[in-house]
Structure 1
């Protein structure tokens, strides 16, 4: 998992590597109970590649964010 503190966004990669253009479908999870946003990235076969968490400091536990790789 990586986290960009300036954007307050995290990315949970579920595969070893995601190549440019490989995530062809993004599904936005919309729920008014979420204090941020969640986007699911899928490949051309509909397989889940990763999960983007927007407003990560509000959605993820602090210990999870501390373990994340820093980056943007």
Structure 2
């Protein structure tokens, strides 16, 4: 099974799904926004310089992604104590 890193910021309701590991993180060279009317929100596809999909940004994530995925995501809005 492949591990996929997911981050979530509940304060802004945004999630990011990474398809690259942290050691080989690629620079995003092109972003393709999906039609917000068609998907009912904003979803951006990020590609590297070789045209490979490296991640997906999902705004209004709580209405677009399964709750179990958001629950398991690395939280960006929680400060370390």
TM-score (ref. length: structure 1) = 0.87
Q: Which moved more, 1:62-71 or 1:28-37?
A: 28-37
SS of structure 2 residue aligned to 1:32: helix
Distance 2:35 2:14 in 1: 16
Runs of 5+ unmatched residues, structure 2: 1-5
User: SS of the counterpart of 2:37?
Assistant: coil
* 2:47 paired with 1:58: no
Q: Which one has the largest radius of gyration?
A: 2
Comparing both structures, which one devotes a greater share of its residues to strand?
1
Normalising by structure 2, we get a TM-score of: 0.78
1:27 to 11, 24, 32: 32
Moved over 6 A (4+): none
Cα RMSD after superposing both structures: 1.4
Q: Counterparts in 2 of 1:1-72, with a 5 A limit? A: 1-17=6-22, 18-19=25-26, 22-71=27-76
Aligned residues: 70
